Structure 1
Amino acid sequence: MKRRLGDRSDGWRLRKVDPFFKIIPHIMKERNDAQVFFSENIDLEETLKFIREIRREGYKVGFLQVAIATMVRVISQKPKINRFICGKKAYARNEIVVALAVKKEMSEEAEETTITIKFDPDDTIYEVIDKMNKAIDASKIVEEKNDTDKFVKVMSKVPGFIYGGVVGFLKFLDRRGLLPKFIRSLSPFHTSFFVTDLGSLGIKPVYHHLYNFGTTSIFIAFGTRRKQHELNGDNTIDKRKSQDLKVVVDERIVDGYYFSQAIKMATKIMESPSVLREKPTQIIIDDEI
């Protein structure tokens, strides 16, 4: 789509949006003013079978890859969740980018780094696995730092008394769509969604706040798996594994019904992920651009 006056390098200005959604960013000015919390429980019976099948095909895959492939697929069908508010204006993001926190080693002393990965809306589970694993493996090389780490290190050398001014200036540029592209490409705060896997730390998921800096409108957290016991009609008991998801969204980007339908779609795909083997039959475009 050709860029028009008022668009940003990372998003198209929404021009056909409901009048309510033009007003609401002036009422709820910050992203954490507009946080809405969702909780879902994913039945893992078919998911774990799918993961085992993909592993037998030679791929390194876990629930994290399935979850992110699912969200990429949902965005391709429910593109309005890939919006953001900046400078009290609503935009449709023109790419799918995910931020992910990664521990270089599983120890208290090990550094944590944040990586961003770009996906295409028609990516299959195989393409998602390939892109993710390359990025994760590169980030775990202890001696090396990615571009985001290098930028943060440079920023850390700024004298403390002018930090506020520097961040304020970056926010000023961002609100006007003038933030340099190289900074945005390094930023985990300018992504479609941010994911944290607390299961690798052995803890349950938490609701993680959204950041006022940047444009990320969705934060997803999952943790350790749960074992459930279900009583059947014949008085036998089934043991099932499930996964809790905690999702925090910016309610200013789209109405609650649309969000709920997107989350239902995500749940359905995560519980029956074989659809991710194939590309989607169509890519839906945000119709309010």
Structure 2
Amino acid sequence: MGKRRIGDRSDGTQIRDIDAMHYVMPLMYPNRCDNEAYMKVSVDITKTEDYIKKYNEEHPDNRIAIFDIIIAAMLKTLRLRPQMNRFIANQTMYQRNCITAAFTVKKEFRDDGDETLARIVAEDTDNLESISFKVREQIAKCKVEDDESTDAMNFIKRLPAKHVLGAVARYLDRHGWMPKSVIATDPYQCSVVLTNLGSLGMDIGYHHLMNWGTNSIFVIVGTKKFKPFYDKDGNVTMKRVIDLAVTLDERISDGFYYGRSLRLVQKLIENPELLEGALSKEI
């Protein structure tokens, strides 16, 4: 990352050589929630499940799950496809300075069980093994203590004049001036937010983006199921699949770039051995 210039933020570098269309779109359509594109990816996990079984037999103390592979695949795609790691704030487009993933952890599986927020920061040298370790570490931590953002929100909750506080917070957020203690584990300040509905036995839905924060990608992971696949002769084969529902900010890139990026995600999940190398390793 080069020297910070006027117009840059602490979490992103302003894109100055942007084409005219992507320069104008944030001016015409300033709200992220008004510019959502929805895409669905069906992933054949036949080989993936075989890989997980073999991996866990060989690493009984460091087991992995399919959610780990999906997170690693998203992070590697963000590393190799940099437009996927951009965001728009205050009608300006930025390249994010780091690659992060966030997900919610339910402390107890009860209706009144508390939720807390987990956040993973990816390094170029990370691979599936290290990312899986970070996921396990975050889940274990979240089960026993609150995250920094939750602590900050609990403090804010006790303050008066909530509407004034809200207006100030939105202004600070728009300019990238929110205190780090408040947004330390805020999922909507991350590259990608993931939620694993499959772990609850639920199929995919679609989740909206937020005007708050900088997050431009939301991924819902559905339940595993069998689905028919047809070859060119019309023969049917039932395959084990998992569906991903992806919400994107369409102002950032075009459908061709997004489509190729999601095909890369699909390829990485279907061939998890490609995730054994560093995130920065080209595919």
Instruction: State the match for 1:81 in structure 2.
Output: 84
Measure, in 2, the Cα distance between the counterparts of 1:92 and 1:86.
11
Q: Indicate conservation of the 8 Å contact 1:196/1:220, yes or no.
A: yes
Matched ranges for 1:90-239 at <5 A? 90-141=93-144, 144-159=145-160, 162-230=161-229, 238-239=237-238
**For the residues of structure 1 that align with 2:39 and 2:147, how far apart are their CA atoms?**
32
Question: How far 1:254 sits from its partner (Å)?
Answer: 1.5
* CA–CA distance in structure 1, aligned partners of residues 21 and 137 of structure 2: 42
Q: Distance in 1 between matches of 2:234 and 2:85?
A: 45
After TM superposition, give the deviation of residue 275 of structure 1 in Å. Answer: 0.6
SS in 1 for 2:206: coil
Tell me which residue corresponds to 2:32. 31
Which residue type is aligned with residue 248 of structure 2? V
Q: CA deviation at 1:31?
A: 0.4
- Structure 1 counterpart of 2:15: 14
Say if 2:79 and 2:99, in contact at 8 Å, map to a contact too: no
Distance of 1:22 and 1:283 partners within structure 2: 29
3-state SS in 1 of match to 2:188: coil
Using the alignment, how far apart are the partners of 1:234 and 1:259 within structure 2?
A: 30
Q: Report the Cα offset of residue 189 of structure 1.
A: 1.3
From the superposition, tell whether residues 266 and 234 of structure 1 become closer, same or farther in structure 2 (CA, over 3 Å): closer
The answer to whether the 8 Å contact 1:121/1:283 transfers is: no
Aligned to 2:72: 69
Q: Which runs of 5+ in 1 are unaligned?
A: 285-289
Which has the higher mean CA deviation after the structures are superposed, 127-136 or 227-236?
A: 227-236
1:101 positional shift: 0.8
Q: 1:209 to 1:236 in 2, by over 3 A?
A: closer
Task: Determine the C-alpha separation between the residues in 2 that align with 1:126 and 1:173.
Answer: 37
Q: For 2:182, give the aligned amino acid.
A: I
Q: CA RMSD in A?
A: 2.1
Report the counterpart of residue 252 of structure 1 in structure 2.
251
How many corresponding residue pairs? Answer: 280
What is the TM-score of this pair, normalised by structure 2?
0.92
Change (3 A) 1:42 1:126: same
Spell out, residue by residue over 1:110-138, the C-alpha distance to the aligned partner (whole angstroms, 9 max, x if none).
Answer: 11212212111341101101111101111
The 1:281/1:177 distance shift into structure 2, 3 A limit, reads closer
In structure 1, give the amino acid aligned to 2:30: K
Give the C-alpha shift of residue 4 in structure 1. Answer: 1.5
Paired amino acid for 2:32: R
Would the alpha carbon gap of residues 240 and 18 (structure 1) be closer, same or farther in structure 2, given more than 3 Å must change? same
Find the residue that maps to 2:49 and give its secondary structure. helix
**What is the deviation of 1:60?**
2.3
CA contact (8 A) 1:210 1:217 kept: yes
Query: Percent identity at matched positions?
Result: 31
| 1:287 match | none
Q: What is the TM-score of this pair, normalised by structure 1?
A: 0.90
CA-CA distance at 1:175 after TM superposition: 2.1
**Could you tell me how far apart the structure 2 residues matched to 1:27 and 1:132 are?**
39
The CA deviation at 1:148 is 2.2
Q: What are the ranges of 5 or more consecutive residues in structure 2 without an aligned counterpart?
A: none
